[in-house]
Amino acid sequence: MTQLFDSHAHVDGPEFDADRAEVLARARAAGVQRMIVIGAVGDPSSAERSVALAESDPNVWATVATHPHDVEKMTPEWWAVHERLAPHPRVVAIGETGLDYYYDHSPREAQKAVFERFIDLAHRVNKPVVCHIRDAHEDARAILIAGRAMELGVVIHCFTGTPDDARAYAELGCYVSFSGIITYKTAQPIRDSVPLVPRDRLLIETDCPYLAPIPKRGKRNEPAFVVHTAEVVASCAGMSYEDLAAQTVANTCRVFRLTSP
């Protein structure tokens, strides 16, 4: 079966408490053998849960950070958890961290300061950075450049910018990850962005439980559904489904420094 790698899933969350084992089994049955679990939603219990999940499953790896929505709530204790977990061998990146000026749930100055501090943590543990950037692409690029984040590897997850933004990230050397949003009718600028990203920098993700792709839109998203996103990204990239699948698995392994299956 064609293998896919879900590069960004929140399967640690309470949305999956009732049926997590079944969700993971459905992913494997759909060819989604591997996934990166993003431990960054709300308080650091998300990071703790994600690392525990990665410890229990050889095809799951974790990231740790605090989402830009929640940075205003960060305490010294939250930082201590991230500092403790960041060097863990099953933690493959710092993230998701970044800037979200669309929701502005935390003040922008706090988002920027925390983004810079997580890039610094990534340098100290020598791991790549998974970035959540919404309506803040210029500020984000300035912080990534100033923080020399490209030396570590950078993923722009759930890309929602313009083709010009995609081109700018590609020129910088970022990996760009596409979610189920790319299947939505209104997402033509995102579809137009795919050919501007070099093939060896393309990633796919669910961002589950959010953003289920068409034809699952409105349902709880899960890693098995990344198949539908892969189909659309393949057609935008002018690639066969099988080639896009193999390319994105290889890319995900490269950026997160995993050995290819």
Q: If binding is defined by CB under 5 A, does position 132 make contact with Zn ion? A: yes
Tell me the C-alpha distance between 244 and 182, whole Å: 15
3-class secondary-structure state, position 211: coil
Query: Smallest distance from the beta carbon of 256 to Zn ion, in angstroms?
Result: 15
Report the site for Zn ion in 95-124 (rule: CB under 5 A).
96
3-class secondary-structure state, position 250: helix
| Strand pairing report for 32-39 and 4-9 | parallel
Site string for Zn ion, 162-201 (x = CB under 5 A): ----------------------------------------
Q: If binding is defined by CB under 5 A, does position 134 make contact with Zn ion? A: no
Binding-site size for Zn ion (CB under 5 A) equals 4
Tell me the C-alpha distance between 76 and 186, whole Å: 41
Q: If binding is defined by CB under 5 A, does position 228 make contact with Zn ion? A: no
Closest CA to 8 of 258, 216, 204, 215: 204
Closest CA to 12 of 258, 254, 178, 223: 223
Closest CA to 31 of 55, 56, 5: 5
Identify which of residues 132 and 141 has a Cβ nearer to Zn ion in the complex.
Answer: 132
Tell me the C-alpha distance between 152 and 108, whole Å: 24
Q: Please identify, among the stretches 31-39, 107-115, 145-153, 234-242, the one whose residues bind Zn ion according to the rule CB under 5 A.
A: 31-39
Q: Please identify, among the stretches 24-32, 132-140, 181-189, 251-259, the one whose residues bind Zn ion according to the rule CB under 5 A.
A: 132-140
Q: Please identify, among the stretches 77-85, 119-127, 207-215, 249-257, the one whose residues bind Zn ion according to the rule CB under 5 A.
A: 207-215
Q: Please identify, among the stretches 76-84, 113-121, 131-139, 223-231, the one whose residues bind Zn ion according to the rule CB under 5 A.
A: 131-139
Residues in touch with Zn ion (CB under 5 A) = 38, 96, 132, 207
